[in-house]
Chains A and B, each alone.
Chain A
Amino acid sequence: MSVETLLLAIALGFAAGALSGMFGVGGGVLFVPTLAFVVGLGQLAAQATSLAAIIPVVAVGAWQQHRAGNVRLREGIAIGVTAIVGVLGGAKLATALPEDLLRDLFAGLLLVVAAQLGWSARGSLRSQGSPSGPPGR
């Protein structure tokens, strides 16, 4: 990996964290394109690696939110543990699909997130000056 690629990946990682802190959109949405286009991973490897990259980000986020009193631990753990069942199914499907289709599906997900953001912006554009939603999604 060249020095330029290395620095660009670090910068985009930092930007992904900053944007997720600002807009409450998780880092994964930005990690996957960075890992695919800049680092040069295939779509499946980019997605799998994105999940690993999310771990330290949410660990810090969860700890901060816990200290701020915004975490209901029992419910969070219940969702996370049952999520493992879904993860096994999702991983099975992701590895079975052709990477082109996986990439198109991911692009579709980006459009959904963009629509969600657009919808929330519409609300805050109408009522200027009202506080925006909390970070961390």
Chain B
Amino acid sequence: MPKPSFWVLGGIGVASGFMSALFGVGGGIVVVPLLVLLAGFDSRAATGTSLVAIFITALSGATSFSLLDHVHWRDAALVGLPAVAGTFAGVRLQSRVTSGSLTLLFAVFLVVVAVVLFVE
């Protein structure tokens, strides 16, 4: 696999960090496709590598917002710790039930949540 330049990695980093802090998400939506498109990663390596980047990103984002007193740590544990258990179930389910139609159903669900957020 090619060795990406520092500038490519740095560009991906700055872009993903910006959107991570702006939206409260990890930034994988940006990191994974950019690693594939700009750095020549295969999707498996892109996904694995993105998690290391997201760990540092989320840590710095949570720290920044915490200094501004916006982080509710107890609530973070309330959803974050069950989610750790959930990922194990999800990865196990993935090989068995994930299909095009299920993915589509999830996409429709996200659209519904988006509409609810818009009207709120």
List CB contacts (< 8 Å) of A38-88 with chain B. 39, 41, 44-62, 65-66, 68, 70-73, 75-88
Q: Are B52 and A114 in contact (CB under 8 A)?
A: no
Secondary structure call for the A interface: helix
Q: Distance in Å from the Cβ of B16 to the closest Cβ of chain A?
A: 5
Q: Are A87 and B47 in contact (CB under 8 A)?
A: no
- Which of A6, A34, A85, A109: most chain B Cβ within 10 A? A109
List CB contacts (< 8 Å) of A82-137 with chain B. 82-91, 93-95, 103-118, 120-125, 128, 132-137
Q: Distance in Å from the Cβ of A86 to the closest Cβ of chain B?
A: 3
Determine the distance from Cα of A39 to Cα of B77 in the docked complex, in whole angstroms.
12
Residue numbers in A under 8 Å from B110 (CB-CB): 29, 110-111, 113-114, 117
Residue numbers in B under 8 Å from A104 (CB-CB): 117-118
Determine the distance from Cα of A137 to Cα of B48 in the docked complex, in whole angstroms.
9
Q: Are A39 and B21 in contact (CB under 8 A)?
A: no
In-complex Cβ contact of A87 among B64, B93, B98 (8 A): B64
List CB contacts (< 8 Å) of B34-75 with chain A. 35, 39, 41, 43-45, 47-62, 64-66, 68, 70-73, 75
